[in-house]
Amino acid sequence: MVNAVHTVVYAEDPVAVRAFFRDVLGLAHVDAHDGWLIFRLPPGELGVHPAAPPGAPSGHHELFLMCPDVAQAVAELRRRGAEVEGDIADRGFGLVTSVRVPGAGSLGFYQPKHPTAYDLEADDGTPPTSPGSAGYTVRPIGSVRGGRQQVEDDGWAEVTSRI
């Protein structure tokens, strides 16, 4: 029934935000039309948390990009010119920080300490599509163009990752 998640970021300056996702985060993308970029994200998961404090209005949503080593990710983001907001905090369930996205608020980065759902086998028996799974290649820098991907370290390479 559901085969993907489409996340929408509303921004004062969508061109700057698209450039951030493309150039700083290095996310692969397609041009839907006239520079309207749609970005490929890694496998994901959805968590439901109680409103804080108890009784607070519901409907607040946050976006976190998960990474195996948040300190390494922060160092790379800083190298690429990102503004990291504060120190990495240990929240018990994981290590978290955030990065300022020009014209679009903050984007969380998260290194979980708990079991994750993004690498579970699908109900239809499809194997997980997470780093380390068979058939999955992580290419953290680049953009998709016609089924090929520009990568920083070795030029053009076939895109071998699956969503």
Average pLDDT for 76-99: 96
Whether residue 75 is contained in a domain is answered as: yes
Q: What is the largest CA-CA distance in the chain?
A: 53
Whether residue 42 is contained in a domain is answered as: yes
Whether residue 26 is contained in a domain is answered as: yes
Whether residue 133 is contained in a domain is answered as: yes
Whether residue 1 is contained in a domain is answered as: no
Range of the domain at 45: 14-158
Question: Is 97 in contact with 89 (CB distance < 8 Å)?
Answer: yes
> pLDDT tens for residues 94-140?
999 999 999 899 999 999 999 999 888 766 666 555 443 333 333 34
Dihedral angle over CA of 31, 33, 3, 128, nearest 10: 0
CATH number of 110's domain: 3.10.180.10
Question: Is 142 in contact with 152 (CB distance < 8 Å)?
Answer: yes
- The number of folded domains in the chain is 1
Tokens 């993308």, located at residue: 29
Whether residue 19 is contained in a domain is answered as: yes
Whether residue 4 is contained in a domain is answered as: no
> pLDDT tens for residues 131-153?
433 333 333 433 333 333 333 43
Q: How far apart are CA 48 and CA 86, in angstroms?
A: 25
Q: Is the pLDDT score of 54 beyond 50?
A: yes
Burial class (CB in 10 A: 0-12, 13-18, 19+), 7: exposed
Whether residue 101 is contained in a domain is answered as: yes
Indicate whether this model's pTM tops 0.85. Answer: no
> Which residues, at least 6 apart from 159, have a Cβ–Cβ distance to it below 8 Å?
28, 139, 144, 147, 148, 149
Q: Cα separations (Å) of 115 from 13, 47, 50, 74, 98?
A: 36, 12, 19, 22, 22
